[in-house]
Copies of this chain bind each other. A is one copy, B any other.
Amino acid sequence: MQVLVYGAGQLAQMMYLAGVPLGIDVQAVDVGSETVVHPVSKQPLDMSLMQAIEAADALTVEFEHVPEHLLEEAAKSGKLMPGIETILVGADRVREKHLLDTLKVANCPHQVVTDLAQLDDCVATLGERLIIKASRDGYDGYGQWRLTDASALEALKAQLSSLDLTAVPLVVEQMLDFDRELSIIGIRSKSGEIKVYPLAENLHHQGQLHVSVAPATDISDELTEQAQQIFTTLAEGMDYVGVLAVELFQCGDKLLVNELAPRVHNSGHWTLTGAITSQFDNHLRAVCGLPLGDTVELGPSAMVNVIGCTGFSRDLLSIPGCHLHWYGKTVRGKRKMGHINVTADSYQELGNKLAELAQTLPEEAFPKLAKEAKRLQRV
């Protein structure tokens, strides 16, 4: 079988690696040059995009910001999974909020702004502590602004005055005092079967995911059920096929959806070594119509992103249960270069291993690690 993935980054690479054992040949589309490339070497393959679309059993995406004309061409084949509407939901916060509200899925109080004058109404309705997000092309903290005091509103308006809000509206959200960030990742098959991984707890720094721990600690049965209900409502509501990631805020005993990613997700990379079947394996199984694999965890796991950093010793590989997953990219700014997965038999042991790991890594690139290690050591 063949699967064509739009996007040729690390997620396509990890799908390729999961595909080979399943007998599935994964090819990637470099969406800039619109060429078909090998997902690992990134070398062009000897076929046109149209040929690759025709030859593929399934088409899918590794990121939601695929140019719309490519998505439309892909959708025409009838083999794009998840569907184009769903991918566009992931790429556009206005569509996303509309979907969440339509499906009555709890999310942050928000307003859509197409004119800066509406911001006054936002402050009146949502309060003066706001997060303002461009509705499209924003990721990893780009295209986001914060208001913490109404007196700064005019300055913010001035800052935003050059934006074309008719073309790209803003989504203005109430800044929530949430307890922590979680995510639920699951898979829905063509026949409607759903499996979910245990909830992950995600630590961000400057808008980027730094550390995930799965299963998240201190998760009540009620919280698990709430997350699974949210996942099911969304996946069924979108008639979704494949892996879907749902980012959540926990506020007390209540979960609110922060955002959706219609694809395999960074907070699910722990499944490569920490679950019976990885998210990449399961995504391919779903889009190829194969039975879904078990999503049970093997024990507590952590995933540590390597961001904008290559200068560290490979001695970390000597920590038992510590695996490096390198993406083979050139270092640039805050680029994700790879991740480190750590598995253990208990949270305490996981904490000990992360503490050991923290000592081998430069603190400035891994600012969340030592503290998280300490927290887990005390669980």
Whether B20 lies near A40 (C-beta < 8 A) is yes
Q: Pick out which of these stretches binds chain B: A79-87, A90-98, A315-323.
A: A315-323
For the complex, would chain A's binding face be called helix, strand, loop or mixed by DSSP majority? mixed
Chain B residues with Cβ below 8 Å from A298 are: 298
Interchain CB contact under 8 A, B291 and A325: no
Indicate if the CB atoms of B343 and A276 lie closer than 8 Å: yes
Query: A233–B359 Cα gap in the complex (Å)?
Result: 36
Chain A: residues with Cβ within 8 Å of the partner, total of: 33
Interface string of A11-34 (1 = CB under 8 A from B): 001000100111100000000000
Is A127's beta carbon under 8 Å from chain B?
Answer: no
- A22→B322 CA distance, assembly (Å): 12
Contact status A324-B17, CB under 8 Å: no
Contacts of A75 in B (CB 8 A): none
Q: Write the A313-345 contact mask toward B (1 if CB under 8 angstroms, else 0).
A: 011011011111110100000000010000100
| Best-surrounded residue of A17, A21, A317 (most CB of chain B within 10 A) | A21
Contact with B along A192-210 (1 / 0, CB 8 A): 0000000000000000000
The answer on a CB contact under 8 Å between A291 and B320 is no
Which residues from B are CB-within-8-Å of A106? none
Given contacts A21-B272, A292-B318, 14 further A-B contacts (CB under 8 A): A17-B17, A17-B20, A17-B21, A20-B40, A21-B326, A22-B324, A23-B324, A291-B314, A291-B315, A293-B320, A293-B322, A294-B320, A294-B321, A296-B320
